[in-house]
Each structure stands twice: as C-alpha cells, then as structure tokens.
Structure 1
Amino acid sequence: MADAITIRPVDGRADLKAFVELAYRLNADTPHWVPPLKSDVYELLDAAKNPFFEHATVQLFLAERDGRVVGRISAHLDHLALEQPVEQGMGPGTGNWGLMEAEDEAVMHALIAAAEQWLREQGMTRALGPLSLSVWDEPGLLIKGHDHAPMIMMGHHKAAYRGWIEGAGYSQAKQLFTYDIPIVDGFPKLIDRIVASGERNDRITIRPIDMDRYDEEASLILSILNQAWSKNWGFVPITDTEVQYIKKKLKPVIYPPINLIAEYDGKPAAFMLALPDINEALIGMKGSLLPFGWAKLLWKLKRKDWNGGRVPLMGVLPEHQNSRLASQLAFMMIEYIRRWGVGTMHATRAEVGWILDDNQGMNAIADAIEGDPNRIYAVYEKAGL
C-alpha cells in the first residue's frame, strides 16, 4: 500500500523555507532548469514586499509523505482579475493555482485537489493555472522547449507535469509562444525595406529610454502597456504600486539602446523592451549570491557582452493598433535592438515572447522575421469546481 500523502497549509518560516527549497531539490536533475535567486523567490512570496498581495489572497500548501516534503502548490485569488470580463479569460468565479512541484503524479493530483478545495471555499467555480503568481510573473506550463534553457523571467518545468495536470481533468485554455529569432545575419529584405521606409518618415521617431528621466520613462512605458494589453486574454491591470515596484526591479538590467519608445508626430505611440539574458549568469549560482555569486552577477551586469537577450514586452497604443504603422514601428524597434545586440553585446541569439496564440499581429511579425516557436507554455482550466 502506498504511503499516505498529507497536504497542509504553509505555516511559519520553517514551512516557507521548505516550500522554497523543494524546487531546488526536485529540479536538481532537471535538464536546463535555471535556479532562480532564492532571495527573489522569497520576495515573490512576501506580502510586505510584493505588491501583488495588495489585490490578491494567497494560500501556500505543502505535500508530505512519510514525514518528507514531496510537493508544493499555491492557490490564489487575484481580486483585480475577478473584475475582468469573462470573455478575456479571467472574470468572476475564476481562481488560480501555481508554483507547483511534485515528486510524482499522485502528489501532483493531491496538491491540485487541495488547491481546488481552497478555491471552492472562496466561492470560485473555475480554476485557471498555473500562474506563478500573477499573469505578469511566470504564467503557463512549459509543454515544448525542454531541450534548452529558458531566458530571463521564463519558467521551466519537468516534462512529466503536462500529463499529470491533464490527468487531473484539466484542458488547455490558452497557449503562449516564445520565438527564437535569427539575428546575426539580419532580417529578410522585405523587413529592411519597411525599416528604411520608416526611417525616411519624419513623423516617426524611435528613441532609447532616457535614463536621466528613468522614473518618468518607465511610468510612460507601463502606462502604454496597460492600455495596449487591456483587451488581451488574461489581462490584469498593473497598479500604481506595482508600477513603482517593477521600475525598481528592472532598472539594473535596463540597457537604453535596446529599450525603446516610438513616437508618432512627437507623441508616444509604442514601446519595446529587451533584457539581457541574466540566466547566463544565474545558471551556475544554484540560487544563491553567496559566497561569490553577487560579484559574478554584478560583473556581468556592468558588461555589455551577452550571448542572448529577450524581448518580453511590446505595446502599441490602441489608436494605432491593427494598422500598418503598428507593424512598421514593431519592425523598426526590433531591428534597432538586433543591430545593437549583435554589434555591441555580441549576441548570437534572441527570443521574443511570450505571445498569445490568438495574437495574430504579433505572431505574424514573428513569422516575418523568420522566428521559430521554440517554447510553448499552456495555461490550463477546469470548470465546475
């Protein structure tokens, strides 16, 4: 008879440590898993530091078998997500779970059942996950791309988790794509012509973020993001407190030449952010800055040579969306990022995403620059809790 599995809420510092540490133990032999900094994980889960908790209720669970911790999961309600239109994927009655790790399928099923029970007790009728924790953090389960390491701010999961989650009665609600972009030899000639046409247009200006006005510039970008993504599946608005938090977190990895604002007739119209792949530095640090990891990370951040980078976010104001201008601005910004990335960072690869599977405009842009969908993440749902 199999040993019984016990699920219990995280209670106190020792439990929180067990919750965090479990991921490092279970993924120690997972190919291409990049250990996140433990300090970042603790901060993610700290209601006093992470402004997500200002509009969310979160419960963490541990699974134990024979006195050993063998799994973990979060169950949470994003109260701003509950206010969104149902047709956009969230809305009333939809709760979430995420941050799941499990030794085997039985443990995973027990964890998901516990998360569902907690969501039912909060009045939820539908579960959507994994979201770890917010849709703006690491949404989705990796279902394609286990053969290479993720780039900055992207998740990586055991391949077996897909079957375990689907075996718990979940179906895919949405897929999120990332694209591997060929950058060394440039983009197709058609893209070059589109970019050159934009450069001749006096109404278009593409400029780097002004770090002397960083707070103002970052606030502008996040304002455009809130407007540009407001109709997207899964959208939850970024609050003013979160804007301040994100600005602080991103500043150390902002290189102005690859973080761009597009203006049309002198007014902001779009933006594109690109980040160096810090995972290159993290992969050998085992989640700790001690004893010398901090020096390695700081050294890397001060240099401009990175093998790769990722474009995690792009936004176009609603009045320009679904237009030729929107595509032209996107092509211009990504070409400028490519030029600097190859010429100054000496980058050899880049990644764009994540992009929703039904975002026809952005998927078409990725196709036009010959992007390869190298990683796919699935967000799962179960109705009728």
Structure 2
Amino acid sequence: MSVSVRPVSSKRELAQFLALPRRIYACYSDYVAPLDHDRAQLIDPAKSAFWTHGKAAYWLAYDEKGRAVGRISAQIDDLATGPMHEGAGFFGCLDAVDDEAVVAALVGAAADHLAGQGKTLMRGPFTLSINAESGLLIDGFTAPAMVLMPWHPPYLRAHLEAAGLRLVKTLNSYGFDRRSSDLADRLEKLGMERRRKGFDIRAMRMDKLSEDAELGRRLFNGSWAANWGFVPVSEAEMAAMIKAFKPLLKTEYGVFVEKQGELVGFALFLPNVFEISGDLGGAPSPLGWLKLAWRGLTRRFSGGRAVLFGVAPRLVGSVSGASVALILVDELMRRAAVTGVQDLECGWILDDNYAMTNVVEWLGARSTRRFGVFEASIQPHRAQSAL
C-alpha cells in the first residue's frame, strides 16, 4: 500500500481521528465501539485533562485513494519524571488496518516527532496517559468490552514489532465472577471478620464526592509511586473522571478504610459503561442518546472495573498492608451483593508484581486480558516543530 502520513490540524481531522477505530474495526465481531463523546474526553485538547500537564500531536495515515487507514499520537507528559522516565516520550492511539507499511509509517512519524523534542526513548501505547488506557491488547481479544480498557486486533503486535519496537512490560487484568467463583469462601478462610477489627470502613460520600476523590487520589499516588511506569494521577484527571462517571456512580462504588483516623486503603469501582452504550455505536442518534440516558438512570450494572486501588505508602509490602488490600477486596464483594454487580475486573497488574498476582490468583480470579507496553530507542535531533 502507498501510504502518506499527515498531522491532524483541524477540527474535521480530529473528528476523523476520533472515529477511525470504529470504521476500520467494524468488521471484527469482538470490537465494541466506545462513544466518540467519551473518546473526546481523553483526546480532544479542549476537553482532555491530560493537556493540563502534557502535550500531544496526532497523525492520520492515508492510502493512495485518500482514505484514512491508521492513526497515532506522540505525547510528552510533564508528570512523567524520575529515572524510569529518563529521556522518554510516549506514543498512543495506535489503530490501523492490517498493513505493516501503514504501522511503520505511523510509528516513524511519532518517533521523528519525539526525537525532535530531544527524546531518546519512545514508549507506549497510552491514551494518552498510563492512568487512562494503557498498552496494546496482546491476549484476550474475545473478552467483553470493559471500561477504560482498549481493544486492538491481533495483527497490530506483529506490525509494531516489525517497526522496531520491543515488548518491555505486560499488564495483566484479572476478573472475579461472583456467580461461579468461591471468592467468598476463600475470603472467609482468611478470617476477614477478624482482619476487619480495628479498622473503620466507609463508603464514598456522594455529598462530599470531590473531597473523597482527592483523598483517594493522594493515597493511590503514594501507594504506587515506586511502581514501574508510574505517573501520578493529577487533580484535573481525577476531577475529570469523577465528572464523567458521576451520573452512574453509587456510594457503594468507593471504599475507604481508616485506622485511628488515618486513611490506609482506598478502592474505586467504575461501572462498565459498555453495558448501556455498546449497541448504540460511537455516534448515537438522538433516539440513541435518549436510550443511553434512560439506561443510565434505570439499569443495575452487572460488571465493572476497579480503576483505583491502593494502601497507605507506609504499609506497602507489609502484613498490615496485605490485610488492608484484602479488606478492600472483601468490601467490594460485599457491596456487589447490594449493587447487583457480578463481574469485577481488577486491572491492571504488572507481570512482575508477583505478590499481587499470587493474591488475586489464590482468591480465584481468572486472567481476562493482557496488554503489552513497547519501547524503541530513538535518536534525538533538533526540533522541526514544537508539541
């Protein structure tokens, strides 16, 4: 295929960039299109909280007939600091037809741009932050669509590696199914009633949602600061996530564990919006939007994802920290009986985080999907344009 890659420079091209995946992946039965409206909250410079601490550039690839056949972003995150991010720029929003030349051209454009910003390493894909959608789907292509988890066709990995990128980390997602698992029995064997003594456990306060969200954000950032690839969740990003999901949130979706007045554990569950939007397409009709609003008001969600989960930094790696983590899982399961949630996805967990992996597998979680993070060295050169 003859390929040309051009930067996105207009609102019309940005709309094409947002909608491209649902057009080129429409032939795949496992792909479920997210709402263009939701994609804009992650990507559109006028709406995305990422742009409060980073900048990005976007490209579309076109075939010889002028049809858009692929897309990519290159971004610099000012919050990605420290030795693990030394010289690193990021790429993301990688979606393309099954053509090696298209992916190679897109990767080349992103790499050249990051090199022009003085970067020596390109890492991704992320949309646009590691705290939003992370990695390239490399296993679990038939798993049901899940909130804030990207879908990619199987061929993209091979094309990405052919373009010179190597897999450096695998992000594993696990799921608990209350209908078939023996999680409750396993938790009981761990003596959860005894473990819960001495801790105060409360739900998220809907009348103080912003305050609770900020408490949870700070604890989450402290809990995972030493994790590979860590980038702190910003105040703007947390506020944007809460705003986007507020119509669907319930007080039971947030768990706060305190001991003697100190917050030592936090978990936030988000309902799987694909349950109410999946059959409406990326750009619903006016009737589709009415259906979406009605479903949001009346439906009990059967599944969702724990998007934030952490324990106080001073407890990380300790027996007390493990107890707090178990209390968070136990509490989420107890509340599931009230909310009607049957499937709880916990993602993601790094492939070398053996302690966490062993715990969730012992508790009966099943592997649902895996995402790959890829890297390539690039040669910095004088910038031709600024992000």
Alignment TM-score, normalising by the size of structure 1: 0.92
Q: Is the 8 A contact 1:96 1:129 kept in 2?
A: yes
CA deviation after TM superposition for structure 1 residue 186, in Å: 4.1
The 1-side partners of 2:144 and 2:104 are apart by 27
Q: Is the 8 A contact 1:194 1:331 kept in 2?
A: no
Secondary structure at the residue paired with 1:28?
coil
Q: 1:206 maps to which residue? A: 201
The 2-side partners of 1:254 and 1:186 are apart by 27
The 2-side partners of 1:340 and 1:295 are apart by 29
- What per-residue deviation string (whole Å, max 9, x for no partner) do you get for residues 221-280 of structure 1? 111111111111111122333333233223223221231000112221110111221111
Please say which of residues 263-272 and 252-261 is displaced more in the overlay.
252-261
CA deviation after TM superposition for structure 1 residue 284, in Å: 0.4
**What are the within-5 Å matches in structure 2 for residues 340-355 of structure 1?**
340-341=335-336, 343-355=337-349
The 2-side partners of 1:142 and 1:23 are apart by 14
CA deviation after TM superposition for structure 1 residue 94, in Å: 0.8
Q: Is the 8 A contact 1:84 1:236 kept in 2?
A: no
Q: Is the 8 A contact 1:305 1:344 kept in 2?
A: no
The 2-side partners of 1:102 and 1:218 are apart by 36
CA deviation after TM superposition for structure 1 residue 364, in Å: 2.2
**Is residue 48 of structure 2 the alignment partner of residue 50 of structure 1?**
yes
Q: Which ranges of structure 2 fall in alignment gaps of 5 or more residues?
A: 380-387
Secondary structure at the residue paired with 1:112?
helix
**What are the within-5 Å matches in structure 2 for residues 110-259 of structure 1?**
110-184=105-179, 186-187=182-183, 189-192=185-188, 193-199=190-196, 201=197, 203-259=198-254
The 2-side partners of 1:65 and 1:304 are apart by 43
Q: 1:30 maps to which residue? A: 28
**What are the within-5 Å matches in structure 2 for residues 273-352 of structure 1?**
273-303=268-298, 305-341=300-336, 343-352=337-346
2:187 corresponds to which letter in structure 1?
Answer: I
Question: Residues 279 and 163 (structure 1 numbering): CA distance in 2 closer, same or farther, change over 3 Å?
Answer: same
Q: Is the 8 A contact 1:304 1:345 kept in 2?
A: no
Question: Residues 242 and 248 (structure 1 numbering): CA distance in 2 closer, same or farther, change over 3 Å?
Answer: same
Q: Which of 325, 350, 354 matches 1:356? A: 350
Question: Residues 250 and 291 (structure 1 numbering): CA distance in 2 closer, same or farther, change over 3 Å?
Answer: closer
How many residues in Structure 1 have an aligned counterpart in Structure 2?
375
**What are the within-5 Å matches in structure 2 for residues 21-100 of structure 1?**
21-66=19-64, 67-81=66-80, 83-86=81-84, 91-100=85-94
The 2-side partners of 1:360 and 1:382 are apart by 26
CA deviation after TM superposition for structure 1 residue 190, in Å: 4.3
Please say which of residues 168-177 and 45-54 is displaced more in the overlay.
45-54
1:7 corresponds to which letter in structure 2?
Answer: V
The 2-side partners of 1:319 and 1:304 are apart by 40
Q: Is the 8 A contact 1:258 1:336 kept in 2?
A: no
- What per-residue deviation string (whole Å, max 9, x for no partner) do you get for residues 33-85 of structure 1? 2211111222322223223112222110111112221111111111221x222
Question: Residues 229 and 133 (structure 1 numbering): CA distance in 2 closer, same or farther, change over 3 Å?
Answer: same
1:323 corresponds to which letter in structure 2?
Answer: S
Share of identical aligned residues, percent?
33
What is the aligned-residue RMSD (CA, Å)? 1.8
Q: Is the 8 A contact 1:311 1:352 kept in 2?
A: yes
The 2-side partners of 1:45 and 1:170 are apart by 23
Q: Is the 8 A contact 2:40 2:47 kept in 1?
A: no
Q: Is the 8 A contact 2:92 2:127 kept in 1?
A: yes
